[in-house]
Amino acid sequence: MRFGFLEYGLGVELVRILSIFHILYNRILINLCIYVFQGQCVLLFLV
């Protein structure tokens, strides 16, 4: 009985794709904060 095999594979791919988008989103957000707030927003994120 191969219950959940396909769902598990799709779940792993979905998690990997979401993690990639999360990293890209964080980089874009930090770059925008550096551009707009000249680094002040990044200091808030690091704290």
Per-residue pLDDT of the chain (47 residues; tens, 9 = 90+): 455 666 777 888 888 999 999 888 888 877 776 677 665 655 555 55
Q: What is the pTM of this model?
A: 0.45
pLDDT value of position 38: 66
pLDDT value of position 11: 82
Distance (Å, whole) CA 41 – CA 23:
17
Dihedral, CA atoms, 36, 41, 27, 46, nearest 10 degrees?
160
Q: Please, which residues have CB within 8 angstroms of residue 33's CB and are 6 or more apart in sequence?
A: 39, 40, 41, 42, 45
